[in-house]
Amino acid sequence: MENILLVINIILALILVSLILLQKSEGGALGIGVSQENFMLSRSAGGFMTKATAVIATLFIVCSLALTIISRAELTPTNSVLDTIEEKTEDTPSIPEEK
């Protein structure tokens, strides 16, 4: 199940990046030579792209959260770090005393 969610998450990430890169910039500096007519036509296309980006971004976040919840069970420690340190100190030889 974790592998399936991971593959879906990667696919959603690639789709999200491509949707963001395909959108036209809404900044004023890059659209200097664009007429008002072209601006109105690109606004309807931008509405679809914006909605698609929002849907894919939501799916990506939900998939990422589900992946985190599923993989959290594997991260529970079985041994304490202090137990490991105590085991190692018992195995170390003692320093001989000088006479």
Global pTM reads 0.58
- Cα dihedral 43→44→49→51 (10° resolution): 110
Domain extents in the chain: 2-24+37-91
Q: What is the pLDDT along the chain (99 residues), one digit of tens a residue?
A: 888 999 999 999 999 999 999 887 766 554 555 555 555 555 555 688 889 999 999 999 999 999 998 888 777 666 666 666 655 555 666 777 876
Q: Which of 2, 3, 1, 10 is nearest to 59 (CA)?
A: 10
End-to-end CA distance of the chain: 65
Type of residue numbered 66: A
